[in-house]
Amino acid sequence: MSVFRQPGTVLTDHTFSVPLDHDDPAGERIEVYAREVVAAGRERDDLPWLLFLQGGPGGKAGRPMGRDSWLNRALDDYRVLLLDQRGTGRSAPANRQTLPVRGDAKAQAEYLAHFRADSIVRDAELIRNELLGKGNKWSVLGQSFGGFCTLTYLSFAPEGLNEAFITGGLAGLRSSAEDVYRAAYPRVERKNDAYYERYPQDVAVVRRIARHLAENEVRLPAGGRLTVEAFQALGTLLGSAAGPHSLHYLVEEAFVEGVAGPELSDTFLTGAQAHLSFSGGPLYAVMHESIYGQRSVSPACTGWAAEAVRADFPRCDASAALATDAPVLFTGEMIYPWMFSTDPALAPLAETARLLALREDWPDLYDPRRLAVNEVPVAAAIYHDDMYVDTADSVETARAVRGMRTWVTNEYEHDGLRVGGGKVLDRLIALVRGQV
């Protein structure tokens, strides 16, 4: 166990051995890592614990640089545990380099079937008992997918929780993957409309980039192919506070004049790659749609739901837009099967991802009956017109969880916890404590 200091904080590394399959505790075990953070000078204080569950899936916990972002507010009251969820960061990482050790694609898919919210919560319970001792509870803060995991925690292990905070992560309890994406495309269209209203000059620029990609094979610096569809996937930026501005600054430097005429600049290609490559978090793509699989909602496979329903939203068809004078729309956080041929980090995992997409009868992740009698104090921030999580689903879920207090706001986008400087967490703490 190593301990080190940063400005205003003391950090301690922890590693834990947990079963790969919690239903087979005597079977294979994997390592899970977490970082404890406490305010400097309070290392020996008897502080309550706050478990942080990162967004994703496949996202490692943030790497703090002292008392930054929401952590500054949390450290006033808590000893914080930043969990690298299984398969991420320093927790038995799962990627193109490590997964082949498991065997063929079928073996890899079977392994990854244990990497959803239900397993993450059961990891957390083992860690709680080891760190705090049996019978001692902690609080949980879930951001985005971490909020999904928090709902799973409230469904299956509420006895471990003092209180729960959720930001941008109230999933539809009865929404299938197809339901999720049918609701998502109209939200993405609205974000595009707002983007082009702010930056009308980008309509022509984006059309020019899309036309160039349609007529030329373009490679990103690391070798990935930048197709029209891949370019459209930059729309994931539109769901964050600064994202639309970042997208504008990216496309405004798209072209330079080369020997053979206009070509896409290295500046643009490097910037696009930074947002499109899954090399730092491949599980986000591989596992994405499986987080919506629940046998009681639909025993069928998730089946590349984002791709399956895309044709029902013709405004997302770049070729149709280029055939007229319509703006080319960006897509959002949707994951498509073609990504596993264009991204070198994903290409070796294509068959594994296909098998997960075809997997049926996923176990349920939520228990509506138990949530209806919930006794854990819980508060949630719902971001109005959140591009990533459907507001209507969030509101319906909030009504289904007994005692949940909500704050619906358009002051922040999906990343409000990170950019709000502690204000979002402070509001949720006040809600749980009945101070507002």
Residue with tokens 């977490």: 34
Residue numbers annotated as active site: 144, 361, 414
Say how far apart CA 48 and CA 262 lie, in whole Å. Answer: 59
- Cis link prior to 57 (omega < 30° from 0)? yes
Distance of alpha carbon 296 from alpha carbon 60, whole angstroms? 29
What is the C-alpha separation between 61 and 54, in angstroms, rounded?
A: 5
Sheet holding 378-383: strands in order across?
Answer: 3-6, 9-19, 29-39, 79-84, 49-53, 138-143, 161-167, 378-383, 405-409
Contact yes or no for 122/130 (Cβ under 8 A): no
∠ CA 298-385-404, nearest 5°, is 70
Q: Rounded to a whole number, what is the largest CA-CA distance in the chain?
A: 71
Cβ neighbours of residue 206 under 8 Å, at least 6 residues apart?
251, 327, 328, 330
Strands 138-143 and 161-167: parallel
Tokens representing 357 are 């997409």
**Cα end-to-end distance, the chain, whole Å:** 40
For residue 422, is it left (φ>0), alpha (ψ between -120 and 50) or beta? Answer: left
Tell how strand 49-53 and strand 138-143 pair up.
Answer: parallel
Q: How far is CA 263 from CA 150, 258, 271, 397, in A?
A: 47, 6, 15, 48
Cβ proximity of 308 and 167 under 8 Å? no
Phi, psi of 256, deg, nearest 5: -130, 165
Which residues have a Cβ under 8 Å from the Cβ of 80 and sit 6 or more positions away?
A: 36, 37, 38, 49, 50, 51, 52, 71, 74
Can you give 112-156 as a three-state secondary structure string?
HCCCCHHHHHHHHHHHHHHHHCCCCCEEEEEECHHHHHHHHHHHH
Strands 29-39 and 79-84: antiparallel
